[in-house]
Chains A and B, each alone.
Chain A
Amino acid sequence: KAGVTQTPRYLIKTRGQQVTLSCSPISGHRSVSWYQQTPGQGLQFLFEYFSETQRNKGNFPGRFSGRQFSNSRSEMNVSTLELGDSALYLCASSSGGVSEGYTFGSGTRLTVV
Protein backbone atom coordinates (compact mmCIF):
# COMPACT_ATOMS: atom_id res chain seq x y z
CA LYS A 1 0.00 0.00 0.00
CA ALA A 2 1.10 3.59 -0.56
CA GLY A 3 3.20 5.18 2.16
CA VAL A 4 2.93 8.56 3.78
CA THR A 5 3.09 11.31 1.15
CA GLN A 6 4.32 14.79 1.94
CA THR A 7 4.19 17.71 -0.45
CA PRO A 8 6.09 19.66 -1.48
CA ARG A 9 9.50 18.02 -0.94
CA TYR A 10 11.35 21.32 -0.99
CA LEU A 11 10.28 24.88 -0.35
CA ILE A 12 12.04 28.22 -0.16
CA LYS A 13 10.24 31.09 1.52
CA THR A 14 11.10 34.60 2.57
CA ARG A 15 11.08 35.71 6.19
CA GLY A 16 7.64 37.02 7.16
CA GLN A 17 5.75 34.87 4.67
CA GLN A 18 3.53 31.98 5.57
CA VAL A 19 3.65 28.39 4.36
CA THR A 20 1.35 25.38 4.23
CA LEU A 21 2.64 21.83 4.14
CA SER A 22 0.55 18.81 3.25
CA CYS A 23 0.55 15.21 4.43
CA SER A 24 -1.47 12.25 3.16
CA PRO A 25 -1.33 9.33 5.60
CA ILE A 26 -1.38 5.64 4.83
CA SER A 27 -4.86 4.55 3.86
CA GLY A 28 -6.82 3.62 6.97
CA HIS A 29 -4.55 5.53 9.35
CA ARG A 30 -6.45 8.10 11.38
CA SER A 31 -3.59 9.66 13.33
CA VAL A 32 -1.18 12.16 11.83
CA SER A 33 1.74 13.63 13.79
CA TRP A 34 4.08 16.41 12.75
CA TYR A 35 7.72 16.79 13.77
CA GLN A 36 10.34 19.44 13.11
CA GLN A 37 13.86 18.17 12.56
CA THR A 38 16.89 20.42 12.80
CA PRO A 39 20.57 19.46 13.16
CA GLY A 40 20.83 21.11 16.54
CA GLN A 41 17.49 20.13 18.10
CA GLY A 42 16.76 16.73 16.63
CA LEU A 43 13.14 15.65 16.19
CA GLN A 44 10.77 17.96 18.00
CA PHE A 45 7.07 17.10 18.32
CA LEU A 46 4.71 19.72 16.92
CA PHE A 47 1.23 18.22 17.18
CA GLU A 48 -0.88 15.15 16.57
CA TYR A 49 -4.32 14.91 15.01
CA PHE A 50 -6.74 12.04 15.30
CA SER A 51 -10.11 12.02 13.58
CA GLU A 52 -9.89 15.75 12.81
CA THR A 53 -9.14 16.68 16.44
CA GLN A 54 -5.82 17.84 17.84
CA ARG A 55 -5.01 15.24 20.46
CA ASN A 56 -1.50 16.33 21.49
CA LYS A 57 0.49 19.51 21.15
CA GLY A 58 4.18 20.26 21.52
CA ASN A 59 5.87 23.40 22.80
CA PHE A 60 5.87 25.51 19.67
CA PRO A 61 4.60 29.08 19.30
CA GLY A 62 1.13 29.79 17.98
CA ARG A 63 2.60 30.58 14.55
CA PHE A 64 2.60 26.82 14.03
CA SER A 65 -0.84 25.38 13.46
CA GLY A 66 -2.38 22.37 11.83
CA ARG A 67 -5.58 20.71 10.87
CA GLN A 68 -6.87 17.37 9.71
CA PHE A 69 -9.58 16.72 7.18
CA SER A 70 -12.27 14.06 7.17
CA ASN A 71 -10.16 11.90 4.83
CA SER A 72 -7.33 12.03 7.43
CA ARG A 73 -5.12 14.21 5.24
CA SER A 74 -3.41 16.86 7.30
CA GLU A 75 -1.89 20.26 6.73
CA MET A 76 0.38 22.33 8.88
CA ASN A 77 0.77 26.04 8.55
CA VAL A 78 3.53 28.33 9.72
CA SER A 79 2.82 32.04 9.68
CA THR A 80 5.28 34.94 9.85
CA LEU A 81 8.22 32.75 8.99
CA GLU A 82 11.51 33.25 10.79
CA LEU A 83 14.98 32.15 9.73
CA GLY A 84 14.98 29.62 12.57
CA ASP A 85 11.99 27.84 11.05
CA SER A 86 14.27 26.38 8.39
CA ALA A 87 14.07 22.63 8.98
CA LEU A 88 12.90 19.30 7.70
CA TYR A 89 9.23 18.89 8.59
CA LEU A 90 8.21 15.29 8.98
CA CYS A 91 4.74 13.86 9.02
CA ALA A 92 4.01 10.42 10.47
CA SER A 93 0.84 8.37 10.45
CA SER A 94 -0.49 5.51 12.52
CA SER A 95 -3.79 3.83 13.23
CA GLY A 96 -3.92 5.95 16.37
CA GLY A 97 -3.92 3.33 19.08
CA VAL A 98 -1.63 3.44 22.10
CA SER A 99 1.78 1.92 21.39
CA GLU A 100 1.27 2.05 17.63
CA GLY A 101 4.50 2.84 15.81
CA TYR A 102 4.62 5.67 13.32
CA THR A 103 5.30 5.48 9.61
CA PHE A 104 7.07 8.61 8.44
CA GLY A 105 6.92 10.43 5.15
CA SER A 106 10.07 11.69 3.40
CA GLY A 107 9.54 15.17 4.76
CA THR A 108 9.36 18.71 3.43
CA ARG A 109 12.62 20.65 3.49
CA LEU A 110 11.74 24.27 4.27
CA THR A 111 14.35 26.97 3.83
CA VAL A 112 13.57 30.49 5.04
CA VAL A 113 15.74 33.24 3.56
Chain B
Amino acid sequence: GQQLNQSPQSMFIQEGEDVSMNCTSSSIFNTWLWYKQDPGEGPVLLIALYKAGELTSNGRLTAQFGITRKDSFLNISASIPSDVGIYFCAGQGSGTYKYIFGTGTRLKVLA
Protein backbone atom coordinates (compact mmCIF):
# COMPACT_ATOMS: atom_id res chain seq x y z
CA GLY B 1 0.00 0.00 0.00
CA GLN B 2 0.93 3.65 -0.34
CA GLN B 3 3.09 5.05 2.47
CA LEU B 4 4.99 8.15 3.30
CA ASN B 5 8.73 8.07 3.91
CA GLN B 6 9.82 9.06 7.37
CA SER B 7 13.35 9.62 8.51
CA PRO B 8 15.18 8.68 10.49
CA GLN B 9 13.74 5.19 11.01
CA SER B 10 15.03 5.16 14.57
CA MET B 11 17.20 7.26 16.82
CA PHE B 12 18.83 7.11 20.22
CA ILE B 13 19.27 10.43 21.94
CA GLN B 14 20.37 11.68 25.32
CA GLU B 15 17.83 13.19 27.68
CA GLY B 16 17.72 16.95 27.21
CA GLU B 17 18.66 16.86 23.53
CA ASP B 18 16.48 18.22 20.74
CA VAL B 19 15.07 15.82 18.15
CA SER B 20 14.12 16.38 14.52
CA MET B 21 12.32 14.05 12.16
CA ASN B 22 10.65 14.49 8.81
CA CYS B 23 8.17 12.99 6.46
CA THR B 24 8.17 13.19 2.66
CA SER B 25 5.70 12.27 -0.03
CA SER B 26 5.57 12.18 -3.79
CA SER B 27 2.03 13.59 -3.59
CA ILE B 28 0.70 16.92 -2.40
CA PHE B 29 -1.27 16.83 0.84
CA ASN B 30 -3.82 19.24 2.26
CA THR B 31 -3.50 18.08 5.85
CA TRP B 32 -0.62 16.70 7.86
CA LEU B 33 -0.98 15.00 11.23
CA TRP B 34 1.64 13.83 13.70
CA TYR B 35 0.94 10.94 16.08
CA LYS B 36 2.83 9.20 18.86
CA GLN B 37 2.34 5.53 19.68
CA ASP B 38 3.33 3.93 22.96
CA PRO B 39 3.87 0.16 23.16
CA GLY B 40 0.59 -1.78 23.16
CA GLU B 41 -1.53 1.30 22.52
CA GLY B 42 -3.05 3.09 19.57
CA PRO B 43 -1.47 6.26 18.15
CA VAL B 44 -2.34 9.53 19.88
CA LEU B 45 -2.70 12.75 17.89
CA LEU B 46 -0.03 15.32 18.74
CA ILE B 47 -0.34 18.08 16.15
CA ALA B 48 -2.49 18.81 13.11
CA LEU B 49 -1.39 21.10 10.25
CA TYR B 50 -3.72 22.53 7.62
CA LYS B 51 -1.81 25.10 5.57
CA ALA B 52 1.48 25.17 3.68
CA GLY B 53 4.14 26.90 5.74
CA GLU B 54 2.13 26.55 8.96
CA LEU B 55 4.15 26.15 12.15
CA THR B 56 2.28 24.74 15.16
CA SER B 57 3.46 23.94 18.67
CA ASN B 58 2.17 21.65 21.40
CA GLY B 59 4.32 22.06 24.48
CA ARG B 60 7.84 20.95 23.60
CA LEU B 61 6.70 19.72 20.19
CA THR B 62 6.73 21.87 17.06
CA ALA B 63 5.62 20.73 13.62
CA GLN B 64 5.72 22.43 10.25
CA PHE B 65 3.75 21.95 7.05
CA GLY B 66 6.29 22.11 4.23
CA ILE B 67 5.99 24.87 1.62
CA THR B 68 5.87 22.34 -1.23
CA ARG B 69 3.01 20.53 0.59
CA LYS B 70 4.97 17.31 0.05
CA ASP B 71 6.71 17.24 3.39
CA SER B 72 6.34 17.91 7.09
CA PHE B 73 8.70 18.17 10.04
CA LEU B 74 8.46 17.47 13.75
CA ASN B 75 10.83 18.80 16.38
CA ILE B 76 10.94 17.82 20.04
CA SER B 77 12.90 20.11 22.31
CA ALA B 78 14.65 19.07 25.53
CA SER B 79 13.65 15.41 25.26
CA ILE B 80 12.64 13.45 28.35
CA PRO B 81 12.38 9.68 28.91
CA SER B 82 8.60 9.62 28.35
CA ASP B 83 9.16 10.84 24.78
CA VAL B 84 10.11 7.25 23.95
CA GLY B 85 7.79 5.73 21.37
CA ILE B 86 7.06 5.63 17.67
CA TYR B 87 6.17 8.86 15.91
CA PHE B 88 4.03 8.70 12.79
CA CYS B 89 3.16 11.34 10.26
CA ALA B 90 -0.06 11.07 8.26
CA GLY B 91 -1.14 12.99 5.19
CA GLN B 92 -4.48 13.56 3.54
CA GLY B 93 -4.76 14.58 -0.10
CA SER B 94 -7.55 16.43 -1.83
CA GLY B 95 -10.72 14.58 -2.73
CA THR B 96 -10.24 11.87 -0.13
CA TYR B 97 -11.09 11.37 3.51
CA LYS B 98 -8.44 8.74 4.21
CA TYR B 99 -5.01 9.34 5.67
CA ILE B 100 -1.79 7.76 4.46
CA PHE B 101 0.64 7.00 7.28
CA GLY B 102 4.39 7.25 7.36
CA THR B 103 6.66 4.36 8.17
CA GLY B 104 7.35 5.72 11.66
CA THR B 105 10.34 7.01 13.58
CA ARG B 106 11.22 5.01 16.69
CA LEU B 107 12.64 7.27 19.37
CA LYS B 108 14.67 6.02 22.32
CA VAL B 109 15.82 8.41 24.99
CA LEU B 110 18.81 7.60 27.17
CA ALA B 111 18.57 9.04 30.65
Contacts and interface: CB of A to CB of B under 8 A. Distances in A.
Interface of A: 4, 31, 33, 35, 41-45, 48, 50, 55-56, 58-59, 90, 92, 96, 98-99, 101-107
A42 B3 contact: yes
Given A4-B42, A45-B98, A102-B90, 15 more contacts: A35-B101, A42-B3, A44-B1, A44-B101, A45-B99, A48-B98, A56-B97, A98-B31, A99-B30, A99-B48, A99-B92, A102-B33, A102-B99, A104-B43, A106-B41
Interface residues of B, number: 26
A60 to B, nearest CB: 8
Contact of B97 (A43, A48, A103): A48
B42 A107 contact: yes
Interface string B88-105: 101010001111111110
A55 to B, nearest CB: 6
Interface of B: 1, 3, 30-31, 33, 35, 40-45, 48, 50, 88, 90, 92, 96-104
25 contacts: A33-B99, A41-B1, A42-B3, A42-B101, A42-B103, A42-B104, A43-B101, A44-B101, A45-B1, A45-B99, A48-B97, A55-B97, A56-B97, A58-B98, A92-B42, A98-B97, A99-B48, A99-B92, A101-B33, A101-B48, A102-B90, A104-B42, A105-B42, A106-B40, A107-B41
